[in-house]
Amino acid sequence: MGRILVGIGGGISAYKVCELVSRWVQAGHQVRVVLTPMAERFITPLTVSTLSRHPAYTDGDFWQATGRPLHIELGEWAEVILVAPLTADLLAKIAHGQADDLLTNTLLASTAPVLVAPAMNATMWQQLSVQSNYKMLLQWPRFHSVGTRSGLLACDAVGPGRMAEPEEIYPWVESLLITGGQRDLCQYKILVTAGGTREYLDPVRFLGNPATGAMGLALAQAANHRGAQVTLIHAPVSQRIPPLEAVVPVTSGQAMYNAVMAAFPAQDWCLMAAAVGDVQPGTYHPHKLRKRDLPDCLPLAPVPDILQALSNIKQPHQLLVGFAAQTGEIEPPAWEKLIAKKLDAIVANPVDQAQAGFGSSTNWGIWLDRQGQRLEFSLVPKLTLAHQILTATRSFYSSASSGTSAAGG
């Protein structure tokens, strides 16, 4: 488990940070909280100390002599620092290296990666001075940003400046704990597919599968957190879609085929994590069929084979990774699929075991590639597994590029 330092700025959205602190503690992380003087006007030290199971730090603690300087201790202790909400004043101080309180001194005394979550009035956010400070901050390798969101603000204005929601910030910090803040995929364009396709018989009935899209979304998030330009093509999913370079929603296998084939030529890697159906009803009925009109035998037609089509047009610099959701013995059919589809690699995972597969928050699997390498991933949260898959993909890509072509064949 990790050590997370949370710096809370003086904004109305400070209340959202309380949920994050609680979740991290429940997940087993160690959490320390620093409140700026303005933050204390919005939430109390008692609130965050109760949630973090540790006394909260304020400027009153900073100016007391108690052995080693507190900002040095906290800066060295932290593995990841979250600053939320990042107000205009706090942004200006950090961007220009000012240190006049406990939080800003701690940031300067640390080498840990920092995630900022800006939040302010839309007019304030759009000021040239604020945007200049923000761009300056993001030029430094330590600093990462979850960005702002548009919507109704506390001042009743509508526009950019809302702080990102806790469910968006939480995985960002988890990624930074895993990677140490590395942007090791910043040179890659990565296409990820997610979700389970639906093949409609009529407007209300379809052939489908139980895929929720969680694994594909985790891959897209993890790649984005590591600096990649991510294109996500997704069938219906049960989770929030993360903000990415490009997001293309589809429903059917044919629609996913069309979208993937259009996007693939511009990509370096393609991770096909979507659960695409193999067949579709032979006839689509534009109006709901009455129960008595449902056919006793349903004629089926094949859905386009996306992996096979991609392997036929893949260029030497491109990498194609498939996924195989299996029951029973998962490895033999994955090897068969790897060879038959001419893939660079495949990730096989079970869907008939507890805490793995469709709808679970955790997963495990086996990586197999055309160089004969086999890696087994143990049961972990899907975001963690996503990072492990990306690391294996990067390693394979580097190895293949330095030897034979990464395209295979």
CA distance 10 to 43: 9
pLDDT of 384 higher than 70 = yes
Tokens standing for residue 345 = 């690699």
**Cβ atoms < 10 Å from Cβ of 308:** 12
8: pLDDT confidence band, cut at 50, 70 and 90?
very high
Which residues are part of the catalytic machinery? 155
pLDDT band at residue 405 using 50, 70 and 90 as cut-offs: very low
What's the CA gap between 158 and 287, in Å, rounded?
A: 40
Q: Which of 263, 200, 214 is nearest to 242 (CA)?
A: 214
Compute the C-alpha angle 144/4/238, nearest 5°: 70
Nearest to 406 by CA among 314, 317, 342, 343: 317
**Is the pLDDT at 408 greater than 80, yes or no?**
no
Asked whether the predicted pLDDT for residue 287 surpasses 60, the reply is yes
Domains and CATH numbers, the chain: 3-179 (3.40.50.1950), 189-402 (3.40.50.10300)
Q: Kindly tell me if the per-residue pLDDT of 148 is higher than 50.
A: yes
| Whether pLDDT at 404 is above 60 | no
Residue-wise over 181-205: b if at least 16 C-beta within 10 A, else e? beeebeebbbbbbbbbbbbbbbeee
Distance CA 49, CA 34 (A): 10
Closest by CA to 273, choosing from 377, 196, 378, is 196
pLDDT of residue 403: 65
Cα separations in angstroms, 167 against 47, 142, 174, 238: 20, 22, 11, 14
Assign 357 a pLDDT band (cuts: 50, 70, 90): confident
What proportion of the chain, given as a percentage, has pLDDT over 90? 85
Q: Write down the pLDDT at residue 258.
A: 98
Averaged confidence pLDDT in the chain: 93
The DSSP call for residue 117 is E
Q: Phi first, then psi: what are they for 247, rounded to 5°?
A: -130, 125
Binding residues for CTP are 278, 288, 304-307, 323, 337, 341
Q: How far apart are CA 70 and CA 105, in angstroms?
A: 9
Please say if the pLDDT value at position 402 is more than 80. no
SS3 state at 127? coil
Percent of the chain at pLDDT > 70 equals 98
What's the CA dihedral at 241, 243, 246, 249 to 10 degrees? 20
pTM: 0.93
Mean of pLDDT values over 324-353: 94
Q: Which tokens go with 356? A: 């793995």
